[in-house]
């Protein structure tokens, strides 16, 4: 299985979500990522790392 780790940085807090922007040297793989605030509890994330795997 192939996989890639993608890093995101906090960009904006909306009503129910945090918006994070992908940080990459080349073309973005995902671009903008929205994650529900309930995942993080009361603390705003500064950075998030996502692992994408495929077969």
* Residue 22 · residue 31 · CB < 8 Å: yes
Mean predicted confidence (pLDDT) in 15-36: 93
Could you tell me which residues come within 8 angstroms of residue 15 by beta carbon, excluding any fewer than 6 positions away? none
Phi/psi of residue 37, each to 5°? -60, -30
Band of residue 1 on the pLDDT scale cut at 50, 70, 90 = confident
CB atoms within 10 A of CB 20: 22
pTM: 0.85
Maximal CA-CA distance, the chain: 37
Q: For residues 29 and 16, give the distance between their C-alpha atoms in angstroms, rounded to a whole number.
A: 24
């Amino acid at each position: 299985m192939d996989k890639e780790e993608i890093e995101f940085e906090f960009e904006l807090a909306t009503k129910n979500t945090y918006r994070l922007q992908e940080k990459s040297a080349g073309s973005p793989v995902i671009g903008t990522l929205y994650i529900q605030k309930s995942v993080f509890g009361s603390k705003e994330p500064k950075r998030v790392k996502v692992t994408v795997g495929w077969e």
